[in-house]
């Protein structure tokens, strides 16, 4: 049986720092930005548009709405 993995994601939104824990099987920088978009309420549907699957487009979209400084780390 595979051990569950948990990732702490930290981001800035509207001049406040937010932190949450996201369970997933893996995490990338693009995944962290996507989850931060969802957590912040931006309401971004990643994958609905082929162009949105591009990490730079995802990050630009998020930054337009005030999301910034997304980072993540795996929890022990």
For residue 70, which of 26, 6, 24, 20 has the smallest C-alpha distance?
Answer: 20
State how far the Cα of 44 lies from the Cα of 34, in Å rounded to an integer.
Answer: 8
Burial degree of 69 (CB within 10 A; 0-12, 13-18, 19+): exposed
Residue 50's Cα: distance from chain center in Å?
A: 18
> Which pLDDT band, with edges at 50, 70 and 90, does 4 fall under?
confident
Q: What is the pLDDT of residue 46?
A: 52
What pLDDT does residue 51 have?
A: 47
In angstroms, the CA 33 to CA 11 distance is 9
Give per-residue pLDDT as tens, 23-71. Answer: 999 999 999 998 999 999 986 655 555 444 688 888 988 999 999 999 9
Q: What is the pLDDT of residue 52?
A: 44
């Amino acid at each position: 049986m595979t051990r569950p993995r948990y990732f702490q994601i930290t981001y800035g939104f509207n001049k406040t720092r937010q932190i949450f824990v996201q369970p997933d099987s893996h995490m990338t920088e693009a995944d962290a930005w996507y989850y931060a978009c969802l957590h912040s309420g931006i309401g971004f549907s990643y994958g609905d548009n082929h162009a949105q699957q591009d990490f730079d487009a995802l990050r630009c979209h998020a930054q337009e709405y005030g999301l910034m400084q997304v980072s993540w780390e795996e929890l022990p």
